[in-house]
Amino acid sequence: MDMVLEADRLGKRYGSTWALRDCSLHLPAGRIAALVGPNGAGKSTLLHLAVGLLKPDAGAVRVFGRSPYGDTEGLADIGFVAQDTPLYRDFTASELVIAGGKLNKRWDATLARQRLAQLGIPPDKAVGKLSGGQRAQVALALALAKQPRLLLLDEPVASLDPLARREFLQSLMGSVAESGTTVLLSSHLLADLERVCDYLIVLNASQVQLTGAVDDLVAGHRQLVGPRHDGGAIGGVAAVIRASHTDRQSTLLVRTDGPVTDPAWTVREVSLEDVVLAYLADGTTQTSHSEWGVAA
């Protein structure tokens, strides 16, 4: 399988804190991948490393087999929309299309203009005066005009209202479906991306918790409900991800490596969201009682 993005024990440190640590993952070509994790999990850091804005402090990241930091040629293949879709606010959309043409060797200005016309974006209005949704669409149109083979979007819908969110994702899907572009888009909410992605990377506390194709992940996890469980092995279960117990009953979310045939357990299928929440809850919360000066 062709790998677009590969990270191998990738790490990035700010001062003495690791924003990303021991991050290993592979993103196969042609996927629409969701990068999900709570705020501060290291999603932006990972994307910045992938687009070459940051230099890794440990490990390596490769995009199309090249190390992106300081690689200007490689940039041509990567489209990037940063968080809050920063654009020169006093430029009009049409000026931004011209600017993109001056800044890139490969640039499809016609495509960008057509997209923006289709979306009803005014060409001669400063983009700072457009709505958040329109501005995000302009940023996306500019990223797509590069005709990238990999499109990275950092929280593209976080600041949009639900309607604009849907429109944005629809127009994104519409355009990458034709070109076969690999997409990696991040969000702190899975719900935003669940309907569009077919690949998932879950980051939490600067580490990769889960990665894989959505279908495999859903198929590979089950919820088991049965008598109170003491931690012993269950046939067909590779790992217990999360367990909750009442006095007599246990509810487990497990990764399976075969059919669970033990009749003591009721096996239920899980949604993608169940899986993600189970992995996110796995990371322990750091308490800060001493900083607050209160008793634990």
Partner 1 sequence: MIWLTWRQHRKQAFYTVLGFVALAALLVPIGLSMRNTFSDLGLTDCVSQLARADVAQTTRETCEAGFQRFGSQYGSLNLVAVLLITLPALVGLFWGAPLVAREVEHGTHRFVWTQGVGRTRWALVKFGLVGAAVVILAAAYGLGMSWWVDPLTQAAYEGRLGMIVFDLQGIAPIGYTLFAVALGVFAGTVWKRMLPAMGITLAGFIGVRAAVEILARPHYQPARTQTFPIAGEGSPEISRGDWILTQGVRNPDGTMVAEDTRIQCPPGGKGPDGRVCGAELGLEPGAYNWQLYQPADRFWLFQGIETGIFVALAVLLLYLAVRRIRRIA
Binding flag, residue 75, partner 1 (CB under 8 A): yes
Number of helices and strands in the chain (H, E) = 10, 13
* Binding residue for partner 1, selected from 86, 123, 227, 235, defined by CB under 8 A: 86
CA 187 – CA 168 distance, rounded (Å): 14
Binding flag, residue 98, partner 1 (CB under 8 A): yes
Q: DSSP characters for 27-79?
A: EETT-EEEEE--TTSSHHHHHHHHTTSS--SEEEEEETTB--TT-HHHHTTEE
Q: DSSP characters for 180-230?
A: T-EEEEEES-HHHHTTT-SEEEEEETTEEEEEEEHHHHHHTEEEEEEE---
Size of the site for partner 1 (CB under 8 A): 33
Strand-strand pairing, 266-269 and 221-227: antiparallel
Q: Between the CA of residue 65 and those of 26, 61, 87, 257, what are the distances in Å?
A: 12, 9, 29, 32
Binding flag, residue 102, partner 1 (CB under 8 A): yes
Coil vs helix vs strand at 119: coil
The nearer residue to partner 1, 125 or 195, going by C-beta atoms, is 125
CB of 162 to partner 1, least distance (A): 24
Binding flag, residue 89, partner 1 (CB under 8 A): yes
Q: Are 145 and 107 in contact (CB under 8 A)?
A: yes
Cα R_g (the chain), whole angstroms: 22
- Between residue 35 and residue 54, which ones bind partner 1 under the rule CB under 8 A? 48, 51-54
Binding flag, residue 109, partner 1 (CB under 8 A): no
* Binding residue for partner 1, selected from 3, 29, 60, 99, defined by CB under 8 A: 99
* Binding residue for partner 1, selected from 87, 97, 210, 234, defined by CB under 8 A: 87
Binding flag, residue 88, partner 1 (CB under 8 A): yes
Stretch that binds partner 1, among 77-85, 117-125, 220-228, 230-238 (CB under 8 A): 77-85
* Binding residue for partner 1, selected from 33, 82, 141, 185, defined by CB under 8 A: 82
- CA quadruple 84, 87, 90, 92: dihedral sign: negative
Binding flag, residue 147, partner 1 (CB under 8 A): no
Binding flag, residue 91, partner 1 (CB under 8 A): yes
Binding flag, residue 159, partner 1 (CB under 8 A): no
Binding flag, residue 162, partner 1 (CB under 8 A): no
Stretch that binds partner 1, among 29-37, 75-83, 202-210, 288-296 (CB under 8 A): 75-83
* Binding residue for partner 1, selected from 6, 8, 95, 108, defined by CB under 8 A: 95
Q: Are 12 and 69 in contact (CB under 8 A)?
A: no
* Binding residue for partner 1, selected from 9, 38, 66, 106, defined by CB under 8 A: 106
CA 62 – CA 265 distance, rounded (Å): 43
Binding flag, residue 132, partner 1 (CB under 8 A): no
CB of 160 to partner 1, least distance (A): 17
CB of 163 to partner 1, least distance (A): 25
